[in-house]
Amino acid sequence: MPTTLAAVVRAPGEPVRIEEVALPELGPGLVRVRMAAAGVCHSDLSLASGKLAHPMPAVLGHEGVGHVVDVGAGVSDLSVGDTVLLNWNPPCRSCWHCTHGEPYLCANAADASRRVWGTLADGTDVHPCLGVAAFAQETVVPASACVAIPADIPPTEAALLGCAVLTGVGAVRNAAQVRPGQSVAVIGLGGVGLAAVQGARLAGAAMVIAVDPVEEKEELARSLGATHFLTPSDDLSRRIRALADGRGVDHAIECVGRAATIRAAWSCTRRGGTATVVGFGAATDTLTLNALEIPHFARTLQGCLYGSSDPATDVPELLKLYRDGELDLSSLVSRTIGLDDVPDALAELHAGRGARSLVEF
């Protein structure tokens, strides 16, 4: 029975520790992957703190790339040595949502998170974060959670496609459907928000207003496509509307997941505009809209899961943009760390510092 070192959280709010985990024998339809790189995402922090409900104990990490080292019975489209991007939201291709053009809302995608992924030294079963468990030297995932990619793409850049870039760029292109010449505000400049800034630029937006409390992010945001940079304030919506000819922006992309910033995203859009919420918040954080403003402003408030994307088709498109020099992945990585540094990286993320820490194995 193979063993691996992994970043484990035993219960919500407990410290994240690097522990040895015994992996089970490879069952039918499963693939064992030796990890090459994995991004540290805000969802990992939300899961570890308990904000995002998940079976515990859990091995964190859901954004990563690696190499296939073994395949279970019935796996015919992957081979040992293949480079694969891990998909934390694998569609079953047969439920109602999958057969109606919404694979990102697959009714069965969460099943992989509930399975027993391995066993801790004390005999306790452990579950994979969002079905992936990318913060491990090796992981076991369903074959459907693997997207084969060319081996020449640097893993430290390819890993970000698994969540941050698919989500951020997808929110702009697939959910908001930003058109050339439109105005966009992106609130929250973590990895997802910075990817959304790039998505707005790629969509041809004439104005891209980036918002974040960390002023040091301005230079990076502008290099990726932002035309303006603001720090949050009580009158943020008014300031954004003032930049957008007093009307407000055509689109606001919220990448924080708080009622206050969702409200700001809603309020800074023009009449008839759209606010797209990407950030995952707490179930106890309530957003309030009054009954008059909804019809009066005729705005659209919509949610967006995983960039409304289908990795099978979206990843090849993003890779083409990367090869053409249109999509900057390396700038999204603020530092490269080892597996032992994951707890510190989560603390940095909680403090809002940096863009994306990347675990390199």
Q: What DSSP string describes 76-140?
A: -S--TT-EEEE-SS---SSSHHHHTT-GGG-TTTTHHHHS--EEETTS-EEEEGGGT--SBSEEE
List Cβ neighbours of 255 (8 Å cut-off, separation of 6 or more): 168, 171, 186, 187, 188, 189, 190, 192, 193, 196, 278, 279
Q: What is the pLDDT of residue 354?
A: 61
- For the chain, where do the domains classified as CATH 3.40.50.720 start and end? 168-306
d(CA 259, CA 55): 26
d(CA 278, CA 349): 17
Q: What is the pLDDT of residue 158?
A: 93
Q: What is the pLDDT of residue 334?
A: 85
Token digits for 145? 């959670």
User: CA-based angle 62:67:70, to the nearest 5?
Assistant: 105
- Pick the closest to residue 229 from 210, 243, 249 (CA basis): 210
- Pick the closest to residue 88 from 115, 114, 61, 70 (CA basis): 61
pLDDT tens-digit readout, 246-286 = 999 999 999 999 999 999 999 999 999 999 999 988 889 99
- For the chain, where do the domains classified as CATH 3.90.180.10 start and end? 3-162+329-360
Gyration radius (Cα) of the chain, Å: 20
* 357, 38 Cβ separation under 8 angstroms: no
Look up the pTM and report it.
Answer: 0.93
CATH 3.90.180.10 for the 3-162+329-360 domain, yes or no: yes
- Pick the closest to residue 60 from 71, 70, 49 (CA basis): 49
pLDDT at 352 over 80: no
Q: Which H or E run includes 4?
A: strand 3-9
d(CA 187, CA 85): 27
Report, as an integer, the average pLDDT of 106-110. Answer: 91
The correct CATH number of 168-306 out of 3.40.50.720, 3.40.50.620, 3.40.50.1000, 3.30.450.40 is: 3.40.50.720
